[in-house]
Chains A and B, each alone.
Chain A
Amino acid sequence: MIGAPLTRVDGVAKVTGAARYSYEEPVANTAYGVIVTSTIAAGRIASIDAKEAQSLAGVLLVLSHENAPRVKADAGDRKLQVLQDDAVFYDRQPVALIVADTFERATDAASRVRVTYDRKAPATTMSSPGAQTYTPSQANNNPPDTTRGDFDAAFASAPVKLDNSYVTPTEFHNPMEPHATLAMWSGDELTIYDTSQGVFPRRASVAKIFGIPDTSVRVVSKFIGGGFGSKGGTNPYCVLAAMAAKVIGRPVKVVLTRPQMFGGFGNRPRTEQRVRLGADRSGKLTAMAHDVRSQGSRYDDFIENAAVISRMLYAVPNQITTHRGVRYDVVTPTYMRAPGESSGSFALESAMDELAYATGTDPLELRLINYAETDLSEQKPFSSKSLRQCYAQAAQRFGWASRKAAPRSMRTPDGLLAGYGMASSTYPSNRSSASAAATMHADGTVLATSGGCDIGTGAYTAFTQVAAEAIGLPVARVRFDLGDTTMPPAPEAGGSQLTASVANAVHAAGVALREKLAGLATANRNSPLHGRQLADLAFGDGRVFVRAQPVTGERYADIVRHSGAPSVMARADVQHDRRAKGPYSSHAFGAHFAEVHVDPDLGTVRLARMVSAFAAGTIVNAKTARSQFLGGTVWGVSMALHEEGRIDERTGRYMNASLENYLVPVNADIPSIEIILVDEQDEFVNPLGIKGIGEIGNVGSAAAVANAVYHATGKRVRELPISPEKLLT
């Protein structure tokens, strides 16, 4: 069952409209909250005039820093100190909340709140006067700086040297479901239906900000309309909903408008990356330096760890990597799909492509020349690595061998420039502690639970399969539920860690359940299994039986009935410190191959096709996994060709704050992407051999497209996105 391409178990609910997302929870008497946001990026609120808003029919509450309840200071990010004082740190910072009996009345009233400001001239770019560079204490839990060997000497003496800078722009996650919270209090007990990637981390954070015990907060997130990192951390709208519900003593739901999603919770920071490569004439790397500057806010720390991938992807003996943050007057950036690896791989894999041309080496051959047999950053062997197989299978399927080496040497039949490009991909295999429970009912069905979240990954389906396999039941008799803090704890769906974390817990709970059932049977005088040893028993098709004599056995349903209890439950708690270092380095790997067509007169780039291969240990569900790899790869295409948050340098406001003006791919932009799942077993990474797959599609894919654009045009674009004017100038 593990590995089978089972159709999503929550799929019928999604295609019929029955799946309820947080804002849709039918709670009686819920009031509507609409946020008023700042129109300056730095300064202070001078006055708030809400008289007109307050006078409108249906308006229940106007909250601002003048009357908002106090929350705990030092309880997480500065941005969670919402409506606590008159300071404005970023454009579109919440400055008031209107609550009314209908959405329309709240929206109308919000438009009539008059706010005046004492405005400070904001610093709005990384190079503006007033922007401050700082050295971070860590870069997404990695050391900010590393060195190995002697970069300076090796680079100075290298026969081939490259020194180029690459820019990735500010990007906004834009999940299709806007961020929303429905909050309700019962005395001092808070329940929130929230768009969350992790109900337990959310509970801890919300409890802290309101100064109440974790056990007084229940967080429910059954369906999440995409997250991509943006629904990981707690954000102001969630605090506002809970505040307002407390003040008016009735449930309140708050949803961000689409423009508010450009600054309401953060973004992928802009990066400026300098990559220096030193190599011999065959293309073998001798020296590498990767220096990253990452967009940052004035008030919280976040670093896009873009150079981390360079520490392990290739066998380069002499290396320096650094990360610096640059503070200016913007919202604090946050995690966005493959934070660090996606933006970093654009720089690294573009630089490798440049080295291939500089040395006259085929880009794929160059990767093989520099193949890392061990992880040089950790000085450890890989628990498994099938990157060679990824290269080989994808290259073969793509037809890489038919590529003509020279740039601008290939044309389509209708005269467009054609280009082939490729890039490597990798993402670390993360895992955290997780718990799960499994309950066998007297009708022979199982309910298994763990409080993770399914943000579209297929978690409901994957964990159903794992539970069914562990217990020995057909999947149709297992129901898996998640997304509620009343369940056993699970980590956030982030860092590609959820499946590896929770599947191992679900499997352990399933094994514990079947053994508990076996124990009940062997202890029962009336069971055909009475007196048997566990070691002699096997499990499958809803029963326990004697391995050597399968006809002798007892059905799970009968064991539960004979137990005298309505059901039998087992639970497993699998402890794992995500930052713990074992004897192996564990990563998933992949390879992207892209063909683009470029109009030589207009500079318009169209993706023609991609082939991408991935090896990520045990694949729990081949169908949903393929979709995840596909989606991640689309994100890379988007990074290469479409996405860019454009800031107004006078005001600090993101100007293209809509899905009309912030481009993401539409169906017509994605003609063909083929995903190859490369077989891989990893006996060390975790008991089930699972590596994460959520981010890796978005690593290297932007570079593969950019490299194809170079091959098509002979023009190297080092600042994303590759928009037509960059090819025409």
Chain B
Amino acid sequence: MALGKVTRRRFLVRSAIPAIAAGIGIGVPRLNAVAQAASSVSIVPASGPGAVPVTLNVNGTEHAMRIEPRVTLLDALREQLGLTGTKKGCDQGQCGACTVLVDGRRVNACLTLAIAAEGKKVTTVEGLASDGKLHPVQAAFLEYDAFQCGYCTPGQICSAVGLIAEGRTRSDAEIREFMSGNICRCGAYTNIVAAVKAAAGHA
């Protein structure tokens, strides 16, 4: 089976690259400047570029902010906008806890610079429920007990919303494979698959 041959590392690499690519967008020149600075720490001046104006559209609301270019989307959400539903698990694009939707695609917010999300629509776990009604994926996670500690859960849920939109729910094996960028250390995987299946209408 072809799917079974995808190793965990290859999967992570494959899932991380689109996340970075999705994040680059308009921010290419600035991103390069930061990347160069980071690669040669000992010779850069003692302070980095100062704060720049950025407008982020998060869950349908525009936020005019001033942030240093090196601030990730994840830290902008959590530390500046107070949207702490998006979690920091590794800050290295390896665990998926920070998964958000950018223009409908799932990306790792820790690998996306906030300035690179300008002009895009960012959806976090806080933006999924509407009119006090849980999103079907949220309701299914509750029903199937698809979490324990809850820390990977917002990322799992955003990832599942993206997965369903991608049409990757044709079999349990496919759900498992394409949810494998989101680590759950509590080990709720079989319940996560049941929840995603139910939410996708295959229950």
Q: How far is the CB of B71 from chain A (nearest CB, A)?
A: 6
Selected A-B contacts with CB under 8 Å, 20 pairs: A16-B128, A16-B138, A21-B151, A24-B78, A102-B68, A102-B71, A174-B185, A176-B95, A177-B87, A224-B149, A226-B148, A258-B92, A624-B145, A627-B148, A630-B190, A631-B186, A658-B90, A659-B183, A664-B185, A666-B182
**What are the interface flags for B65-92 relative to A under an 8 Å C-beta threshold, 1 for contact and 0 otherwise?**
0001011000100110011111111111
Q: Shortest Cβ distance from B114 into chain A, in angstroms?
A: 11
- Look across to chain B and name the residue whose beta carbon is closest to the beta carbon of A11: B142
Contacts of B41-68 to chain A: CB distance below 8 A: 41, 46-48, 68
- Do residues B90 and A16 form an inter-chain contact, with CB atoms below 8 A? no
Residues in chain B within 8 A of chain A (CB atoms): 1, 4, 6, 8-9, 11-12, 41, 46-48, 68, 70-71, 75, 78-79, 82-92, 94-95, 97, 124-126, 128-129, 134, 138-139, 141-143, 145, 147-154, 157, 172-173, 175-177, 179-193
- The answer to whether A176 touches B188, judged by C-beta atoms less than 8 angstroms apart, is no
Residues of B within 8 A of A17 (CB): 83-86, 124-126, 154
Which of B85, B186, B191 is the one whose CB lies under 8 Å from A16?
B85
* Residues of B with C-beta under 8 A to A255: 88
Asked whether any CB of chain B lies closer than 8 Å to the CB of A76, the reply is: no
Q: A298-306, A327-335, A367-375, A632-640: which lies at the B interface?
A: A632-640
Q: Which residues of A are interface residues toward B (Cβ below 8 A)?
A: 7-8, 10-21, 24, 26, 52, 55-57, 102-104, 108, 111-112, 174-178, 223-226, 228, 255, 257-258, 414, 455-458, 606, 623-624, 626-628, 630-635, 658-660, 663-673
A10 to B149, CA, bound (A): 10
Minimal beta-carbon separation of B175 from chain A (angstroms) = 8
User: How close is B161's CB to chain A, nearest CB, in angstroms?
Assistant: 12
Q: Known contacts A631-B187, A633-B187: does B46 contact A225 (CB below 8 Å)?
A: no
Complex CA–CA separation, A698 to B146 (angstroms): 19
If the complex has contacts A52-B46, A104-B75, A659-B95, are A668 and B149 also in contact, measured as CB distance less than 8 A? no
* Chain A to chain B: the 6 pairs with minimum beta-carbon distance, closest first: A17-B85, A225-B151, A634-B187, A456-B149, A14-B150, A456-B148
Q: Whose C-beta in chain A lies nearest to the C-beta of B181?
A: A666
Asked if A177 and B91 make an inter-chain contact with CB atoms under 8 angstroms apart, the answer reads no
Q: Which residues of the other chain, A, contact B149 by a CB distance below 8 angstroms?
A: 175-177, 223-226, 455-456
Chain B, Cβ-Cβ closest to A52: B46
| Contact (Cβ within 8 A) A175 B185 | yes
The answer to whether residues A257 and B134 also contact, given A12-B142, A456-B148 and a CB cut-off of 8 A, is no
Q: Is the CB of B91 within 8 A of A258?
A: yes
Shortest distance between the CB of A114 and any CB in chain B (Å): 10
Q: Are A225 and B134 in contact (CB under 8 A)?
A: no
B179 touches A225 (CB 8 A): no
Dominant secondary structure at the B interface = loop
A571 to B180, CA, bound (A): 46
Kindly list chain A residues whose C-beta atoms are within 8 Å of the C-beta of B180. 666-668
Docked complex Cα distance between A52 and B95 (Å): 33
Question: Measured between C-beta atoms, what is the minimum distance from A33 to chain B in Å?
Answer: 14
Chain A neighbourhood of B191, CB < 8 A: 627, 630
Q: Is the CB of A176 within 8 A of B184?
A: yes
Q: A16 with B126: in contact, given A102-B79, A668-B180 (CB under 8 Å)?
A: yes
Q: Which residues of B contact A8 (CB under 8 A)?
A: 142, 145
Q: How far is the CA of A257 from the CA of B139 in the complex (A)?
A: 32
A391–B21 alpha-carbon span in the complex (Å): 52
- Tell me the complex Cα distance, A334–B184, Å: 22
Interface core residue of A176, A606, A626, A628 (most chain B CB under 10 Å) = A176
Give the contacting residue for A19; candidates B75, B129, B150, B187; CB below 8 A: B150
Nearest CB on A from B131, distance (A): 13
Contact of B46 among A56, A104, A633 (CB under 8 A): A56
Residues of A within 8 A of B172 (CB): 671
Closest to A638 in B: B187
Contact A672 B94 (CB under 8 A): no
In the complex, chain B residues whose CB is within 8 Å of the CB of A257? 91
User: In the complex, which residues of chain B have a beta carbon less than 8 angstroms from the beta carbon of A226?
Assistant: 148-149, 151, 185-186
State how many angstroms separate the Cβ of B188 from the closest Cβ of chain A. 6
Given A665-B189, A668-B11, A671-B173, 10 further pairs, Cβ under 8 A = A13-B150, A17-B84, A176-B89, A226-B151, A228-B185, A634-B189, A658-B92, A660-B12, A671-B190, A673-B190
Chain B: which residue is nearest A24 at the CB level?
A: B84
The residues of A that contact B139 with a CB separation of less than 8 Å are 15
What A residues does B148 contact at CB under 8 A?
226, 456-458, 624, 627-628, 631
Closest to A673 in B: B190
B155 nearest CB across to chain A (Å): 9
B97 contacts across to A, CB distance below 8 A: 176
Write out the residue numbers on chain B whose beta carbons fall within 8 Å of the beta carbon of A16: 85, 125-126, 128-129, 134, 138
A659/B94 contact (C-beta < 8 A), A177-B151, A635-B187 known: yes
A51's closest neighbor in chain B, by CB? B46
Q: Looking across the interface, which residue of chain B has its beta carbon closest to that of A261?
A: B90
Whether A456 and B186, one on each chain, are in contact in the complex, defined by CB atoms closer than 8 angstroms, is: yes
Shortest distance in angstroms between B110's beta carbon and chain A's nearest beta carbon?
A: 10
- Do the beta carbons of A627 and B89 come within 8 Å of each other? no
Bound-state CA distance A666–B7 (Å) is 11
- Enumerate chain B residues within 8 angstroms of A667, measured Cβ to Cβ: 175-177, 179-180, 182, 184, 189, 192-193
> Is the beta-carbon distance between B84 and A665 smaller than 8 angstroms?
no
Chain A residues, CB < 8 A from B124:
17
Give bound CA distance, A632 to B94, whole Å: 22
Q: Chain B: which residue is nearest A16 at the CB level?
A: B129
Contact of B143 among A7, A224, A624, A663 (CB under 8 A): A7
Question: Considering residues A14, A24, A632, A673, which has the most beta carbons from chain B within 10 angstroms of its beta carbon?
Answer: A14
Q: Are B94 and A658 in contact (CB under 8 A)?
A: yes
Instruction: Tell me how far the C-beta of A41 lies from the nearest C-beta in chain B, rounded to whole angstroms.
Output: 23
Would you call B91 and A176 a contact (CB within 8 A)? no
Nearest chain A residue, comparing its CB with the CB of B125: A17
Which chain B residue has the least Cβ–Cβ distance from A623? B145
- Alpha-carbon separation in the docked complex, A455 to B147 (Å): 11
B92 and A178 contact, CB distance less than 8 A = no
Q: Is the CB of B183 within 8 A of A176?
A: yes
A7: nearest chain-B partner, CB-CB: B142
* Contact A630-B188, Cβ < 8 Å, known A7-B143, A57-B47, A668-B177: yes
B134-A664 in contact (CB<8A): no
Please give the distance in Å from A654's CB to the nearest CB on chain B: 15
A672, B190: Cβ atoms under 8 Å? Answer: yes
Known: A176-B95, A658-B90, A667-B179. A104 touches B154 (CB 8 A): no
- The CA of A225 and the CA of B86, in the complex, are separated in Å by 13
Interface centre among A112, A457, A628, A665 (most CB of B within 10 A): A665
By beta carbon, the residue of chain A nearest B41 is: A111
